[in-house]
């Protein structure tokens, strides 16, 4: 039976859980017995985000969880500093949990509270590594067997600012071999991960054109948006960026310079559902596709799917459960029933359950939080000993 939001409902507690493989979950509790879940994590900085949530808690306890936009603005505008990956990731997790509470209180999915879904399902792609190419084909075939029609992978490992022809040839051979093996019915997206300098990105994009990648992500670092716009004008390949941008302000030069045909902000890093919808709507005015970034857990994915349900220009959804960095832990480990969302013909269904539409197994979360994690990105070096981009 539908429950109306109590006018006197108050937030009573915020609890965080550092869980494998590299995630941070947040539970917001209320005096009405309705709780919401969020995922306020920044990969490699889970404990930093847990501390930030703890700092935000006194500002939230006692407040009405239905005033989502007001709380968002309070957290964003309070104090001298705003934006950036830590603050926006913390706000994101809180925002997700508040929307989860709102939907549960009204017995409606989040997308129903925001105008209703524009689609029934969203095309999904998964992540298959690529730092070292030895398992690339095996992982691509496994993705296809799991029901995916597309996969994304890193262009390669370390790339020097001016690398050798042999390094370029090796990258082209790896990707070309994968393209030939998988055939035209399986789409491949290539992530440069900011590892390529502007000169190397120009060379690699030219070499990859015959392989017709679905898109190339972060051909250069997001701090090089001017160069990325130049690259976009010079290649027919669709370029994507956004996972390292953390507020709508940061996307302004992307749109105005036409640097990307796809933006992929991360719901867990960019201020949650509230800010993602603003960015998605803004992207639509520039005829830019939205493809939410999500190499994270089941709560972050559920939040992304609510955005996908509402943004007409949402074209792709990243779904990476049990991926190469830790194949032993996936979404199903933390949801009731032990199963994550099912891929069917390359698509993920839009959730219809109340709130975010994902039922978290709190007992499993508590048990795995006792184990915790200390995930860190690897430290890479070039042949000359200098630090390489990971």
Q: From the candidates 246, 293, 331, 373, give the one annotated as an active-site residue.
A: 293
Residues contacting residue 377 through CB under 8 Å, at least 6 positions apart: 43, 44, 390
Q: Per the structure block, which two tokens stand in for 141?
A: 């075939």
* Spatial separation of the C-alpha atoms in residues 269 and 266, rounded to whole Å: 5
Q: Is 373 a catalytic residue?
A: no
| C-alpha distance from residue 26 to each of 16, 78, 345, 389 (Å) | 4, 21, 32, 30
Catalytic, out of 193, 246, 269, 331? 193
Alpha-carbon distance of 315 to 312, in angstroms, equals 8
Contact 324, 127 (CB under 8 A): yes
User: Quick check: 209 and 198 in contact, CB under 8 A?
Assistant: no
CA distance 205 to 155: 11
Q: Where are the beta strands (DSSP E) in the chain?
A: 11-19, 23-30, 36-38, 121-127, 150-154, 187-191, 216-217, 239-241, 262-263, 289-290, 317-318, 347-349, 380-381, 387-388
Put residue 46 in one of left, alpha, beta given phi > 0 → left and psi -120 to 50 → alpha: alpha
Residue 69 CB neighbours (<10 A): 11
Per the structure block, which two tokens stand in for 95?
A: 């925002």
Q: 165 an active-site residue?
A: no
Residue labelled with tokens 């969302």: 341
- As annotated, the active-site residues are 193, 293
């Amino acid at each position: 039976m539908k429950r109306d939001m109590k006018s006197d409902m108050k937030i009573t507690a915020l609890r965080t859980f550092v869980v494998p493989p590299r995630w941070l979950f947040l539970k917001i509790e209320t005096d009405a017995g309705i709780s919401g879940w969020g995922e306020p994590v920044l990969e490699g900085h889970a404990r930093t985000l847990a501390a930030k949530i703890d700092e935000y808690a006194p500002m939230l306890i006692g407040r009405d969880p239905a005033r989502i936009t007001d709380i968002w603005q309070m957290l964003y505008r309070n104090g001298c500093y705003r934006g950036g990956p830590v603050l926006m990731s913390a706000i994101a997790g809180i925002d997700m949990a508040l929307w989860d509470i709102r939907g549960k209180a009204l017995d409606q999915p989040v997308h129903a509270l925001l105008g209703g879904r524009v689609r029934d399902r969203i095309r999904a792609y998964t992540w298959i590594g690529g730092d070292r190419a030895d398992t690339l084909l095996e992982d691509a075939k496994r993705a296809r067997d799991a029901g995916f029609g597309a996969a994304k992978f890193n262009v390669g490992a370390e790339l020097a600012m001016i690398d050798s022809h042999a390094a370029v040839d090796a990258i082209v051979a790896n990707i070309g071999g994968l393209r030939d093996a998988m055939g035209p019915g399986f789409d491949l997206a290539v992530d440069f991960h900011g590892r390529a300098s502007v000169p190397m990105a120009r060379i690699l994009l030219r070499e990859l054109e015959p392989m017709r990648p679905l898109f190339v992500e972060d051909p250069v670092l997001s701090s090089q948006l001017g160069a990325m716009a130049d690259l976009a004008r010079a290649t027919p390949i669709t370029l994507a960026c956004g996972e390292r941008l953390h507020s709508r302000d940061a996307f302004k030069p992307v749109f105005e310079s036409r640097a990307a045909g796809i933006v992929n902000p991360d719901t867990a890093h960019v201020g949650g559902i509230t800010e993602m919808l603003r960015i998605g709507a803004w992207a639509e005015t520039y005829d830019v596709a939205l493809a939410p970034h999500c190499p994270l857990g089941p709560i972050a994915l559920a939040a992304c799917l609510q955005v996908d349900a509402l943004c007409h220009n949402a074209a792709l959804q990243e779904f990476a459960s049990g991926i190469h960095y830790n194949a032993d832990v996936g979404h199903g480990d933390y949801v009731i029933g032990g199963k994550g969302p099912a891929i069917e013909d390359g698509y993920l269904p839009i959730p219809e359950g109340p709130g975010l539409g994902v039922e978290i197994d709190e007992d499993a979360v508590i048990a795995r939080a006792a184990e915790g994690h200390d995930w860190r990105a690897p430290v890479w070096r070039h042949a000359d000993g200098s630090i390489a981009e990971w």
